[in-house]
Structure 1
Amino acid sequence: MGALCSAFLTSAANAQLNVFACEPEYAALAQEIAPEAKIYSATSAMQDPHLVQARPSLIAKMRQADLVVCAGADLEIGWLPMLQMKASNNKVRSTDNGLFYAAEHIDTLDKLEHVDRSMGDVHAKGNPHLHFDPRRMLQVANALSEKMAALDPEGAAGYQAKLTDFTDRWQQAIPKWEEQAAGLKGKKVIAYHSSFRYLFNWLGIEQVADLEPKPGIPPSSSHLAKLVNRSQEGDVMAILVTSYQDERGANWLGERTDLPVLILPMSVGGNSDSTDLFSLYDSVITMLTEVQ
C-alpha cells in the first residue's frame, strides 16, 4: 500500500509542468495560472533581459523544462537560441510545442518595417516590454492558459479556473489603477530606453526625450547637455530609469535640472514592494503619482 501511494505521489509530481520563464513578470504570470507548477525565472528585475549569459545553470533548467515563456519580439534574441541549442530539449524549441512568446499574442507597439545597425537596439517586431499594459497582459494570460492546457490536458480545468480567478481580480484592479493615475495623463517625462512605452501609452504619459542617444547606446555628455536644454522648458515631471539601468546619466541630469529621478521597478522583485504582478503595478503607479 505504501509503495502504491508513493508511486501515485511520484506520478502526480511528474504531471506538474516545469516552466522556464525568461523574465520575472512571466514567472509571476505563470504562477497565477499554474501555482502547482515548478517555475524558474532566468533573470531578475535587476538584470537587463537583453543581456543574459547562457550559464550552465540556465542550460540545466531549460533542459528540464516542459514550457518556456518569454516576452518575444526578439527581446531574448541574443541569448535564448544559444540556450535552446545547448539544452537540446526538443520540447521547447518551437512555439508549435512548448515555446511561448507573449508578444505573438498581442498587437505590439512600434513595429518597424526596416531595421539596420545604425538605428541602435531596436526591435522590428515591436516593443517587447509589453507587461506594463494590463489589457495586453490579460490577452497573454488567456493564451498562456491555453498553451498550458495543450501541454497538460489533464490539468486544463485547473488552469482555466485559475485564469478565471486571475481575470476577475485583474479586471477589478484596472479601473482602480486608472483612477489613481488619472492625474498623470498629459504629464511629460524623460526616460531611459523605451522600457515603459506601454505604461506611458496606457496612462497617457508622454516621453519627450530619451537618456539614450540611440536605443542601447549609453548617454553621452553632448546628449545629456541637450537634455538639460529640453528640461529648461519647464514641462518635464521627472526623469525615469528602471531598476537595472545605469543611473549615472539620470542623476547627472537631475542635479542640473532639479528634476526628481525615479528608479521604477521594471518587473516583479524590482523593489521591496513588487512581489507579484498586482503589487508591481501598485508600486509603479504610486511612485509616479507621488511626484506629479
Structure 2
Amino acid sequence: MVRINSKKLILAAGIFASLLTSSANAALNVFACEPEYGALAKALAPDAKVYSATSAQQDPHQVQARPSLIAKMRQADLVVCAGADLEIGWLPMLQMKASNNKVLSTDTGLFYAADHIETLDQLEQVDRSMGDVHAKGNPHLHFDPRKFLKVAQALSAKMIELDPNSSAEYQVALTEFTEQWQQAIPRWEAQAQSLKGKKVIAYHSSFRYLFNWLGMEQVADLEPKPGIPPSSSHLAKLVSRSQQGDVMAVIVASYQDERGAHWLGERTDLPVVILPMSVGGNSQSQDLISLYDSVLTLLTEAQ
C-alpha cells in the first residue's frame, strides 16, 4: 500500500498554484516598432517587458530583419507599430521569420496606431513615380497629441483584451497617462502660440502632424520626392523659395541627413533646427512628454 505524505502533497499543490498564478499574471512581452510606441506601451503597462526595434536615430522606413529582432518578435505577445505601411518594407519579413502566430493579425496581438485615428494625406492611388508615399496616409502621427491620446486608449484596450486578469492595472495606468497628457496639451499650445502661421522648409513629411496641430506650414521639402535625397538642382530651387523672406527655419529630424539642410541654411541665413523624431532623439527627450517639450522649445527658440 502506497502512503501519501500529506505535507508533501500540500507543498506540491501550493507550488502548482503559485505557478498558475504567476503564469496568469505574467507581464506582457511587447515588441514596439518605434521608440514612441515603446514609450507609450511602458506608460500604459509599467510591468511589461518592452523592446523597441528602432531608435530615434534610425529611419523607421528602413530596418534590417536582424536575427536579434526575429528572436524578440518570436517572444512577443503584442507588436505595436505606427502602421499605414510605414513598416511595410521590413515588418512582414520579421513576422514570417519569427513564426509567432500571436502577432500576425490585428485580430490578435498586432496593433497599428494608424488604424485608430484619421490619418492625414491619404491617397486613392500610389505608384513608384510618386516616391516614398503612403496610400493609407502619413504614418508619423505621434506628433499630434490629440490623436495620440486616442491611440493610447485603443492600445490600453488591446492590452486588456490580451491580458484580462490585469485589467484594473491597465485602467489605472491609462487614467494616469490621460490626466498627465490632458494637462500638458494646453501648456504646449500656449508655448507654441507664436508659431501659428510660421512657414518652414523640412525634410520629408516627418512633422506633418506637428505642423498641422500648431498651425504651421511646410512650404517646401528638402527631398525632390519623398525618399529621394536632395539634389543640387533641387536645393538651388529652395534657395530661390527662401528669398521670399517668409521662411522661419529649415527643419530636419534627428535621423535624417543634415547636409542638404546646412547647405541651404548657409546660403539663406536660415537657422537649421534638428528636431528629435522620437524618444531618445536628443538628451532632453527621455519620455513622451519631454519629447514634446524639447521639440516645442527648439522651434520657439528658432523664431
Question: What interval of TM-score do these two structures reach, taking the shorter chain for normalisation?
Answer: over 0.9
Shift of 1:7: 7.3
Query: Using the alignment, how far apart are the partners of 2:68 and 2:17 within structure 1?
Result: 29
Q: Does residue 246 of the first structure (1) align with residue 257 of the second (2)?
A: yes
Query: Using the alignment, how far apart are the partners of 2:20 and 2:254 within structure 1?
Result: 40
SS of 1:149's partner is helix
Matched with 2:42 is 31
Q: Does residue 209 of the first structure (1) align with residue 220 of the second (2)?
A: yes
Matched with 2:159 is 148
- Structure 1 unaligned runs (5+)? none
- The correspondence for 2:80, drawn from 69, 73, 90, is 69
- The correspondence for 1:275, drawn from 257, 274, 286, is 286
Superposed CA offset, 1:120-142 (max 9, x none): 00000000000000000000000
SS of 2:201's partner is strand
TM-score (norm 1): 0.97
Q: Which amino acid aligns with 1:8?
A: S
Q: Which amino acid aligns with 2:151?
A: V
Q: 1:141-290 to 2 correspondence within 5 Å? A: 141-290=152-301
TM-score (norm 2): 0.94
Residue 74 and residue 7 in structure 1: after superposition, are their counterparts in 2 closer, same or farther (change >3 A)? same
Query: Using the alignment, how far apart are the partners of 1:10 and 1:19 within structure 2?
Result: 21
Matched with 2:4 is none
Shift of 1:291: 1.3
Query: Using the alignment, how far apart are the partners of 1:125 and 1:152 within structure 2?
Result: 30
Query: Using the alignment, how far apart are the partners of 2:98 and 2:13 within structure 1?
Result: 33
Runs of 4 or more consecutive aligned structure 1 residues displaced over 2 Å after TM superposition = 1-14
Question: How many equivalent residue pairs?
Answer: 292
Residue 2 and residue 68 in structure 1: after superposition, are their counterparts in 2 closer, same or farther (change >3 A)? same
Matched with 1:127 is 138
Q: Which amino acid aligns with 1:12?
A: S
Matched with 1:106 is 117
Residue 242 and residue 5 in structure 1: after superposition, are their counterparts in 2 closer, same or farther (change >3 A)? farther
Query: Using the alignment, how far apart are the partners of 1:2 and 1:191 within structure 2?
Result: 64
Q: Does residue 12 of the first structure (1) align with residue 22 of the second (2)?
A: yes
Q: Which amino acid aligns with 1:42?
A: A
- The correspondence for 1:89, drawn from 85, 91, 100, is 100
Query: Using the alignment, how far apart are the partners of 1:207 and 1:136 within structure 2?
Result: 20
Identity among equivalent pairs (%): 80
Structure 1 or 2, whichever has the larger Rg, is: 2
Q: Which amino acid aligns with 2:277?
A: M
Matched with 1:54 is 65
Shift of 1:160: 0.8
Superposed CA offset, 1:178-201 (max 9, x none): 000000000000000000000000
Residue 255 and residue 151 in structure 1: after superposition, are their counterparts in 2 closer, same or farther (change >3 A)? same
Query: Using the alignment, how far apart are the partners of 1:263 and 1:184 within structure 2?
Result: 16
Query: Using the alignment, how far apart are the partners of 1:138 and 1:94 within structure 2?
Result: 23
Query: Using the alignment, how far apart are the partners of 2:49 and 2:15 within structure 1?
Result: 21
- Structure 2 unaligned runs (5+)? 1-10
Query: Using the alignment, how far apart are the partners of 1:261 and 1:54 within structure 2?
Result: 33
Superposed CA offset, 1:139-186 (max 9, x none): 000000000000000011111110011001100000000000000000
Shift of 1:3: 10
Shift of 1:8: 3.0
Query: Using the alignment, how far apart are the partners of 1:89 and 1:257 within structure 2?
Result: 52
